[in-house]
Structure 1
Amino acid sequence: MLHCHFCSRLSNCRITEEGYKALASALRSNPSHLIELDLTGNDPGQSGVKKLDDLLQDPDCELKTLRFLSPDAEEACQYVRGIVGKNPLLLRELDLSKHELGDTRVNQIAALLQDKHCQLDTLKLRDCDMTDEGCSAVTSALKSNPSHLKDLDLSINEIRNTGVNHLCDILKDSHCKLEILRLRYCMTDEGCSAVTSALKSNPSHLRELNLSGNKLGDSGVKNLSDLLMNPQCKLEILDLWKCSITEKQCLILTSALKSNPSHLRGLNLGINEIRNTGVNHLCDVLKDSHCKLEILRLDCCYMTDEGCSAVTSALKSNPSHLRDLDLSRNKLGDSEVKNLSDLLMNPQCKLEKLHLRECSITEKQCLILTSALKSNPSHLRELDLRKNTIENTGVNHLCDVLKDSHCKLERLSLNDCGITDVSALTQSLTNSKALQFLKELDLSDNMIIDSKQLRDVIRDSNCTLR
């Protein structure tokens, strides 16, 4: 029996969403002959797109070509489908991070974003080797359809003048409901100034802002401070790691946070020269009863002993919310270690992650810290003591924590700590329930004399020894 294949061209016929549903239903009842369908210039709506996609999944369907997008958008669909395995018009999240898109692919993705059928709420294009022209094409496309987008990541791409201008237009648009914006390592200080200025005009939706690796400059810091002070600002996570923030600029930022501290849950000021003046204002934020900060990262902030002491003392006065604390690469003296120990011993303290890498912690100070941990061990999940001179005595005291039946530590990092003897550690892991929880134990760069028994214990457990 002869089977005839045919093509159907219904472009620019004003077919509505209901018309698409009827068409898809009819085609599914007899799907085997149609090989080409042209519906460009019509609006299927999301349910119409879903019906067409269901049609394409039918094993009896022989449709080879389906057109209802522009040629570039159609090619982008094919490209995305090859990566994620789904029709991108039905996706809510598109992550092409670390794919080298090139100008052609970028233009296709831009055409897809610009199409009215695309309703992505999450777009991640981190480290896609996009030039200023590519970023400009993407941000220009987003301008035409901004209302669905909730999460945008353009980090590690070159967003320069035109791209920044388009991005600012999106941020200022009253239809923009963006909640998460990540722009790491991608802008000049002029770009940071423009973006932070744009955010001030539409502040109520933003919940997470990451500008790490960009130099903010005085203007960017001032605009960001104005945003933080705005009563409409509900920002919960602010990541300014390695933003060349000076002591004076930190003073401006922390003063702004003081005026509106209740929403912030995560603050990263790592690798900035905040020094003591900035620290004092930050301490005022930490002491505030309205402060609900859960994550505080102050890695390598050039704080003196007095600065570290002020921070650890401030944390003692409002301990119940903090879950993740990073003071790495700041020198902790006896006073700071004592304050930190008081925090850890507080029954209200629910700290889960403590990072103290390269803090000049001695054996004696390690004894103070581990004694504190012993009194309240059940919450801590991650402890990083890398590059501190805790040596064998410090490890032996840590073993007392591991032996505690309430201890649920999952990651313990003791890289380059001057450890030579792990017999006590081996014994504590053998005779405790610690290995039920421990997933990672890092003892690298220690001159351990005999680790065979420890390796045998690890091999019979779920713990991964590095």
Structure 2
Amino acid sequence: MVDLGEHAQDTSRDVDLTTDVQYPVDSLRESLWDDETGTHFEGLNVMSLRPGEMLALVETIKSDTCTLHMLDLHESEVGDDGARALAEALRSATCTLHTLNLARNEVGADGARALAEALRSATCTMHTLDLNDNEVGADGARALAEALKSDKCTLHSLDIGWNGVGDDGARALAEALKSDTCTLHTLYLNDSEVGDDGARALAEALRSDTCTLHTLHLNIDAVSDDCARVLDEAQALCRTRRRCRHHGLLRAIVMLAILRKRACEAVFHPKRLRREGVFDAWAHEG
């Protein structure tokens, strides 16, 4: 969605692929064309997806007539198979996509590895990847970290919050952030099970002169007070040249600092409520 003021034109389109008949490639391409203005839509929000329809979508993205820049597939049951298919499209020289939202799609380490391989391709133009609330884990985070070190990777923003990245994944990402070829500006690691070891590694990366990170979203309720101070010191050190943020969450379901658009969503996220025993408490009260 692009706002150009008074003469703004909506360049995104919602497409429902929930029909009983497989969505033809030609029909999907036609849905991205505005007959009245003779222009292509640059954004696509897909509300639901089936395996056959994923093939149609991938073929459309790879087409040399497709001008899509943004693809939103959150909560579309993409899975690892879908992620692999999308990764193939991202490697295509004709693909113009630069923003991909795959939040809440049960993408695991295999899917993350496929996407990471695509990010290392010289023909991939991606700069924003949202993998929030998937099952990437430490293995997937390591694969993405290797991609970030590639001089062919153009990614600026990566969201892998709610993915069980852990300390091992955080350490791998920290090493990538220190690379002089890494172009990442924003990293989301909300509720990623990062403890002291991972947080210290990230703090060390922030001190690096080669680190290009502007914003780090990291919950510090899982780290010790000493480690939190290390993060604070790293933040103070790099404040003059970049902006680093981290925020803490109370162990109760209260967020003291809201630093992202989905903050309220994070507070009431089913995983957090389940982890804190809120559902059990409600059931007991009922």
Alignment partners' CA distance in 1, 2:56 and 2:226: 50
Q: 1:192 to 1:238 in 2, by over 3 A?
A: farther
The SS at the match of 1:413 is coil
The SS at the match of 2:246 is strand
Corresponding residue for 1:222? 55
- Report the AA paired with residue 92 of structure 1: H
2:125 pairs with 1:292: yes
Q: Pick the aligned partner of 1:409 from 243, 253, 266.
A: 243
1:7-43 CA distance string (max 9 Å, x none) = xxxxxxxxxxxxxxxxxxxxxxxxxxxxxxxxxxxxx
Matched ranges for 1:364-383 at <5 A:
364-376=197-209, 379-383=212-216
Assess if the C-alpha contact under 8 Å between 1:357 and 1:387 holds in 2: no
Corresponding residue for 2:7? 92
Count of matched residue positions in the alignment of Structure 1 and Structure 2? 245
- Report the AA paired with residue 170 of structure 2: V
Matched ranges for 1:304-383 at <5 A:
304-318=137-151, 321-376=154-209, 379-383=212-216
Corresponding residue for 1:181? 12
Corresponding residue for 1:272? 105
2:36 pairs with 1:207: no
Alignment partners' CA distance in 2, 1:292 and 1:200: 21
- Report the AA paired with residue 198 of structure 1: S
Q: 1:409 to 1:285 in 2, by over 3 A?
A: same
2:22 pairs with 1:190: no
Query: Structure 2, unaligned stretches of length 5 or more?
Result: 1-5, 34-38, 253-257, 268-286
The SS at the match of 1:354 is strand
Query: Structure 1, unaligned stretches of length 5 or more?
Result: 1-90, 94-121, 123-150, 152-179, 419-438, 446-466
Alignment partners' CA distance in 2, 1:210 and 1:251: 19
Alignment partners' CA distance in 1, 2:177 and 2:25: 37
- Report the AA paired with residue 226 of structure 1: E
Deviation of residue 326 (structure 1)? Answer: 0.5
Q: Which moved more, 1:313-322 or 1:348-357?
A: 313-322
Alignment partners' CA distance in 2, 1:252 and 1:370: 35
Corresponding residue for 1:399? 232
Alignment partners' CA distance in 2, 1:245 and 1:320: 23
Deviation of residue 375 (structure 1)? Answer: 0.8
Deviation of residue 308 (structure 1)? Answer: 2.3
Q: Pick the aligned partner of 2:116 from 265, 275, 283.
A: 283
Deviation of residue 261 (structure 1)? Answer: 6.6
- Report the AA paired with residue 127 of structure 2: E
Corresponding residue for 1:434? none
Larger radius of gyration: 1
1:72-91 CA distance string (max 9 Å, x none) = xxxxxxxxxxxxxxxxxxx6
Matched ranges for 1:22-61 at <5 A:
none
TM-score in terms of structure 1 length: 0.47
Deviation of residue 330 (structure 1)? Answer: 0.9
- Report the AA paired with residue 181 of structure 1: S
Assess if the C-alpha contact under 8 Å between 1:319 and 1:349 holds in 2: no
Q: Which moved more, 1:389-398 or 1:311-320?
A: 311-320
1:269-291 CA distance string (max 9 Å, x none) = 11112223322321221111222
Assess if the C-alpha contact under 8 Å between 2:219 and 2:246 holds in 1: no
- Report the AA paired with residue 409 of structure 1: R
Identity of aligned pairs, percent? 23
Alignment partners' CA distance in 1, 2:117 and 2:107: 15
Alignment partners' CA distance in 2, 1:279 and 1:320: 15
Deviation of residue 384 (structure 1)? Answer: 1.2
Alignment partners' CA distance in 1, 2:41 and 2:192: 35
Matched ranges for 1:95-114 at <5 A:
none
Deviation of residue 191 (structure 1)? Answer: 8.3
Q: 1:312 to 1:193 in 2, by over 3 A?
A: farther
Assess if the C-alpha contact under 8 Å between 2:106 and 2:135 holds in 1: yes
1:120-148 CA distance string (max 9 Å, x none) = xx3xxxxxxxxxxxxxxxxxxxxxxxxxx
Deviation of residue 196 (structure 1)? Answer: 6.4
- Report the AA paired with residue 283 of structure 1: A
Matched ranges for 1:69-148 at <5 A:
92-93=7-8, 122=9
- Report the AA paired with residue 27 of structure 2: A
Alignment partners' CA distance in 2, 1:195 and 1:223: 6
Deviation of residue 237 (structure 1)? Answer: 1.5
Deviation of residue 379 (structure 1)? Answer: 4.4
The SS at the match of 2:194 is coil
Matched ranges for 1:157-176 at <5 A:
none
Alignment partners' CA distance in 2, 1:302 and 1:226: 26
How large is the Cα RMSD of the aligned pairs? Answer: 3.2
- Report the AA paired with residue 191 of structure 2: E
